[in-house]
Amino acid sequence: MFTFVWPWMFLALPLPWLAYRMLPPRPPSQALRLPHRALQLPATGNVRGWVRNWRNLAWLAAWCALVVAAARPQWVGPPQALERSGRGVMLAVDMSASMQTRDMQLGGRAVSRFAAVRAIAGDFIDRRKGDEVGLILFGTHAYLVTPLTYDLDAVRAQLRNVAVGLAGPNTAIGDAIGVAVRRLRTLPSSERVLVLLTDGINNSGSLSPLEAARIARAAGVHIYTIGIGSGRSNLSGPFGQIFANPDASIDVSVLKRIASLTDGQFFRATDTRRLAEAYRAIDAQEPTLQGDVMRRPRLPLYPWPLAASMLLALLALWRPVAPRMQVAP
């Protein structure tokens, strides 16, 4: 079915005519006087009139096509059943400076923690077909990047295009939970899920993690926490190889407590395999159910009249080559 999103834009069609009627008329141009009788221009009165009329018609057609594009034409397809669970899954991803640590392996090469999260989270998002998914990025502050949406491509695109440190170098776990609860509380209590991924300890924000977890429990939000980072990394130092333990920077006890308070689960992702297992476990515990929601696919068509309007405007601006003066015999 063909339809317009903004049909009221057609009210703008008579604007050129109104402007023509209301603006003062242009004064007539003066005649060209040739300095010598032997000089004369070819008779082009009919040609000029035809060109002028053709150009006016081109401008009129360009305006009509522009108005059609502004009305946003679209093709609406037949209703289709949408598989959905009704759940809202909010992803909260740590973007602090420590997420740049290259202690993860992906495809046989060392990558940063965030690169591993970005790669594996894409598969988890793909499995959420039928769920509303949102994205929160947190560092020193927590920001809602993508509200709850069925458009999984938009969530993947946002996660793919962000950079570590964008939200600040610190870690505000409590604030991230608070932002998620505010967005999820509009859904039924049994359908609110938060997946929180971090590699640090809460050292920023105005809300403590456990206080935020209690608020989430009161709101019926289930929180699954993932602590990411290798349990042991081999770093190069001035005195040779240094064996560090990044696990000491993760507050495992608080993450476990958050999951326990909200009837969720804690996962420890020391490598990409365990991270993928954590996402698969969450996916199994939050299954997608068959729903009875119908949706109609919509195909926007406005680029076609917009392109036609631009082409017609270019044709209207085209000027023929001026005829040369001829000397009479």
User: What are the boundaries of each domain within the chain?
Assistant: 2-22+31-77+298-327, 83-285
pLDDT at 320: 63
Beta strand spans in the chain (E): 2-4, 39-40, 73-76, 80-82, 88-94, 104-106, 109-111, 132-138, 142-149, 192-198, 221-228, 233-237, 240-244, 265-269, 293-295, 298-300, 326-327
Give pLDDT tens digits for 184-216. Answer: 888 776 678 899 988 878 888 889 999 999 999
More confident residue, 104 or 90: 90
Rounded-to-integer distance, Cα 228 and Cα 325, Å:
82
User: How confident is the model at residue 244, as a pLDDT?
Assistant: 47
**Which of 18-27, 254-263, 283-292 has the largest mean confidence?**
254-263
Choosing among 1.10.260.40, 3.30.200.20, 3.40.50.300, 3.40.50.410, the CATH entry for 83-285 is 3.40.50.410
- Residue 156 above 70 pLDDT? yes
Mean predicted lDDT score pLDDT of the chain: 78
Mean pLDDT for the stretch of residues 80-91: 68
The pTM of the full predicted model, rounded to 2 decimals, is 0.60
Give the Cβ contact number of residue 18 at 10 Å: 9
* Mean pLDDT along residues 218-234: 79
Top pLDDT among 316 and 142 is at 142
